[in-house]
Each structure stands twice: as structure tokens, then as C-alpha cells.
């Protein structure tokens, strides 16, 4: 992936390593570890086993690459909520079978990023206002727990990864690269969950983070870019001081800021015509 930010940093991308990116299981370290285990000895021969597992690996790599490309396009708002993902076109673009594309779309649907509608096809998810509120409620429960665990298990390496990610964010803001800012802001939260070391929390956080990205596109004020500039660094400072209560408090405030920057007004709310046409 040609990422100028990655090049600028000499290939160092703190959130996702190349290997993790192509494995596509970057949020699930336990599953990745399980995958690398040798196949059970019930397979016919060693060479057949190796051939089969290589073919499977190639298939999975292609699958994961397409998945990552679609996932990142959604995260960066290049693919908008509600966009139809036409199987045939995607198969042409990525030069793979429609069956392969169907697998990727099924995975994205499983993560709630894509809606599969019978007889109509696949669409980039368009979370409703009610779903958006649910996402924030879930984040308020999960993220303080993530930070508590992260502080309890903190190592200098984990802190370095957080700081490096923060530098990428600062750099993207300085370049006014809105797509990168939105993606990196979301990834900060997923990274914290990854580093906390609970794979179930990390998986939930990854899904909630991409749903938040879609919600920002649908409901955010046009000028906002999800996370406020300096709030992640304040959270990292609290983590560095191993001050879990402060980190949790800052995170809840941060989520409150993101939620309140969105226009999550009820669908059924009556429109005040008089206010609209005043003067």
C-alpha cells in the first residue's frame, strides 16, 4: 500500500504492521496465533499438506487485501454510507471471482459495515440515529474498561505505539489530510483496545469504531472531524502516568464531545417550520 505517511516515517506504521495488514486478522492476535499452528497430523502427506495450506494462504491473502481496501475506503469516507457495492464491478476491479467478492462482503456484513439486502445486493451500512445512540452507549461501557486494562498492563512498548500513532494524527492534521485524520482518529481507539490485550474487547472496538466513522459522515457537522485535536494526547498522558481514573474520565468526556458534535435528533421530531422561515 502506497501510504505517503508510512513512507515519511520510514515504513513505520504503529497501528498495523505489513504482516498484520495482509493477514487481515490484526485485531485478533489470538486467532492469528492459532492460524500459524501446523495442521493436525491427520492430513495425508507433508507436501500435500504444505501445498494445501499455501493455496489457502494465497486465497486468504487476496481475500484480506480486498477486504482491507474496501474497509479503508469506508473508513476514509471515499465510499459513502448507502453506496451500492456491485459484486460484478468489484470482481472486475480486483480481478477475482464474484464468489471471492461475496466472501468479502459477507465478512463486512458480519462486522455490520455492509448491509446485505436480499434480492438487492450489498450496500455500505447507513446506521440509523437509534443505532448511532446505541454505538455511543456501547463505547461508554467498553472504552473505560479498555483503558483500565491498558493502564494495568502498560509497558514502555505499548506507550511508544500510542505516541507514534499520535504523531501520525498530528502530522495528518498539519497536512489537513481529512481522510487520514478520520481514519487515524478511529484507529487510535482500536489501537488502545488492541494494546489492552483483550481480543473480544478489541474486536468490538474495531466494529464500533468503523460504525462511528460512518455515523460521522451521516450526522456530523460539516466542519467536524470526529475526535478533537488534543484529546487523544491528554488521554495518552494520563495512561503514561498510570492514572486510570483520569484516563477513563477524559475518555468519557471525549466520547461526549464526539456524540454532541453529531446531529442525532430523532426521526420523529417535529420540524419547527416557523423557526426555519423566521426572517
Which residue lies nearer to Zn ion by CB, 122 or 135?
135
Residues 248/216, Cβ–Cβ less than 8 Å: no
Q: Which of these, 121, 150, 132, lies nearest to 236 by C-alpha position?
A: 150
CB of 189 to Zn ion, least distance (A): 6
Which residue lies nearer to Zn ion by CB, 87 or 187?
187
Residues 89/126, Cβ–Cβ less than 8 Å: no
Angle (deg, nearest 10), helices 87-94 and 46-75:
110
Q: Which residue is nearest to Zn ion (CB)?
A: 227
CB of 226 to Zn ion, least distance (A): 7
Name all contacts of 244-247 with Cβ < 8 Å and 24+ positions apart: 244/147, 244/148, 244/151, 244/152, 247/147, 247/150, 247/151
Which residue lies nearer to Zn ion by CB, 146 or 227?
227
Residues at the contact surface with Zn ion, assessed by CB under 5 A: 227
DSSP collapsed to 3 states, 164-196: HHHHHHHHHHHCCCHHHHHHHHHHHHHHHHHHH
Which residue lies nearer to Zn ion by CB, 148 or 257?
257
Which residue lies nearer to Zn ion by CB, 85 or 215?
215
CB of 134 to Zn ion, least distance (A): 18
CB of 259 to Zn ion, least distance (A): 11
CB of 72 to Zn ion, least distance (A): 18
Amino acid at each position: 500500500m502506497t501510504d505517503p505517511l508510512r513512507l515519511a516515517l520510514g515504513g513505520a506504521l504503529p497501528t498495523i504492521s505489513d504482516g498484520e495488514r495482509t493477514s487481515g486478522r490484526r485485531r485478533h492476535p489470538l486467532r492469528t496465533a492459532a492460524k500459524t499452528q501446523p495442521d493436525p497430523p491427520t492430513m495425508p502427506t507433508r507436501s500435500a499438506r504444505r501445498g494445501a495450506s499455501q493455496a489457502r494462504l494465497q486465497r486468504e491473502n487476496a481475500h484480506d487485501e480486498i477486504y482491507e481496501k474496501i474497509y479503508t475506503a469506508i473508513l476514509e469516507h471515499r465510499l459513502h454510507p448507502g453506496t451500492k457495492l456491485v459484486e460484478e464491478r468489484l470482481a472486475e476491479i480486483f480481478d477475482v471471482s464474484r464468489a471471492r467478492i461475496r466472501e468479502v462482503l459477507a465478512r463486512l456484513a458480519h462486522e455490520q459495515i455492509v448491509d446485505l439486502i436480499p434480492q438487492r445486493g450489498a450496500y455500505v451500512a447507513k446506521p440509523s440515529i437509534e443505532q448511532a445512540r446505541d454505538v455511543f452507549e456501547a463505547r461508554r461501557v467498553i472504552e473505560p474498561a479498555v483503558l483500565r486494562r491498558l493502564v494495568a498492563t502498560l509497558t514502555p512498548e505499548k506507550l511508544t505505539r500510542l505516541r507514534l500513532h499520535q504523531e501520525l494524527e498530528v502530522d495528518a492534521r498539519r497536512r489537513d489530510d481529512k481522510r487520514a485524520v478520520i481514519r487515524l482518529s478511529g484507529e487510535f481507539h482500536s489501537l488502545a483496545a488492541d494494546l489492552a490485550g483483550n481480543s473480544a474487547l478489541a474486536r468490538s472496538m474495531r466494529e464500533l469504531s468503523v460504525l462511528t466513522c460512518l455515523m460521522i459522515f451521516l450526522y456530523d457537522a460539516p466542519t467536524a472531524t470526529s475526535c478533537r485535536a488534543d484529546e487523544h494526547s491528554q488521554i495518552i498522558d494520563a495512561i503514561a502516568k498510570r492514572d486510570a481514573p483520569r484516563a477513563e474520565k477524559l475518555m468519557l468526556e471525549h466520547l461526549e464531545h464526539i456524540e454532541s458534535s453529531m446531529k442525532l435528533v430523532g426521526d420523529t421530531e417535529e420540524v419547527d417550520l416557523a423557526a426555519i422561515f423566521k426572517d
